[in-house]
Structure 1
């Protein structure tokens, strides 16, 4: 069997996380698994955790650190703290891009054969493009959220806002310059080609999970409450106000027999304190807020769920699809899912793994919860098992890592 020379990939992702942090660890998992394909990835990220706004990687006075996080090399870059989506966050993005551009190969940091820039914000992608030009290696773009479209459709920013216009120019440039554009969104190619004004080499690479996890905790009806768990970010796009409104409806009507329903919201984000205050002011005893947990603890957290919740705001940007990490964690836990997203790409419908309802509709959410609670345990178990089978077949991280490794090797000029 011929020996395949390893390639070095610099992966610029402002918000990449290590496994002990709470949130999506897509790139760490892909990087670790691609080592079997002779692809060595260095993840370049900010040391400031976006969700917690805490710096847990750099000591006082440090501006950069190169270390191994469970087998994967990270470059942690110092960026300024910020709160909310304001000028402070913009400065944080620009400082990250500046720090990326200052990187040089060293004994601890091998020279790249490919540079990948990952969204959401496009300053990171632009910095990755400039690095690729400096080293005269191919540039690959990964789009996880479509900016600036998301800023307009979800964030309410004007199309004539200076930042939106800057990102619009960068978006067009990056689509045109990328050797390949990778996206989590299955329907994104048409948008990209419309913006670029030309054909865009496109690869769909969704999120996924370990398709061979340990044994699941069987679902039972022994718990005194019917817990609907949401595990993820508490931001404006996540539409958690609708959960509070649904909880108020259920509390007001006294539900309709059976176990009491609780919404359990696990995670953190800029909206969490406001949501907690609102729930307290409204006297919602059927809402429970819990701290975020590291990715490795998600299965144990979801084992307590009778059902799981996947909500987002009603926005035209989701017409291109969604690929939230939490959805596939729900599937892997074999729990039925309430899917409240306006998109033609619903994995819940494709898998038969739960219920799809309109977004931003508290009554529909309350009705869906009551419907699931009234179903026999065997029917809810069957939904969960279908979701688990679907994710194993379509979202196995080992298969996704092989696909990405092949793409990167081809881009680097190697045969696969």
Structure 2
């Protein structure tokens, strides 16, 4: 999959490039993995033969309504077979409410998923199988040689799989994506929280400069002033004052470097995310294992967000996890940067209790990325971040 390419674009693009890519196989996998859901339709049919069909349909509706949330989550994950861009999900819900538009769409898609879609996909795959099996029979006279017919039939099956999968993917995306209004509201809230966070960070930097660097530079001025007065009368005292001024200057420089590093580390700007994360791992008091696959540098905003996510995750792990080991994984594909920070600590991290996870989620949300936290009591804790970077 090339940068910016969708399944629809691949279908309508260069045929040789499409047939030589992984798209046909991914489309076939998407259709095949929907077939187990057809068991629900079979079960309803069998149940309906023994009881009233209305009772069977009501039973199916209840079961699908209860399982619509997990089914929708599974489908968002399965959609990645044919769409490299993560599907935005609505806020998790703990109850079933037909008054909730997102819940209604998830229930509607779950009904399609359990009944119509597997039947359609089964028919498509069966048609392709019949087409392929026909190649094994002797070709009648007057038909093009097999060297022409077989590739043409295989190409037709590939396009059939891709078109059906793309259509179902568009249906899934339209029904399972978070509503635009809800996403706009959440994005507005995230940006408001980011504004507050940036203001707090500005005040912290101002305080650090005032209490640290300004104090050191003031001391330098005082020592140099004393040295200027004593340079002729007391050379030894002058030398001592200059030495103190040098020490204060060095301390002020170190403080400035610390403040600047907190804003945006120089190693990230100069050498990229891989080396910046390696530097973080080297200074971490907990042993860190790195598994980085970063063939190129992502966009600057994505790179900065990824760095601070990893930095904050390490900080949280050091402070709260009691972990013995931390694993950092980073994978950069054509259109997505995926990060995971996992530790073997005690778990129990909760984003609802004012942790730094909320700040990370806000930073990721502005870039239309996703952040997932898994931290059961007893551990392990895993933070997974997906950032689009096409």
Q: TM-score, normalised by structure 2?
A: 0.19
Greater Rg by CA: 2
Normalized per residue, which structure has more strand? Answer: 1
Q: TM-score, normalised by structure 1?
A: 0.18
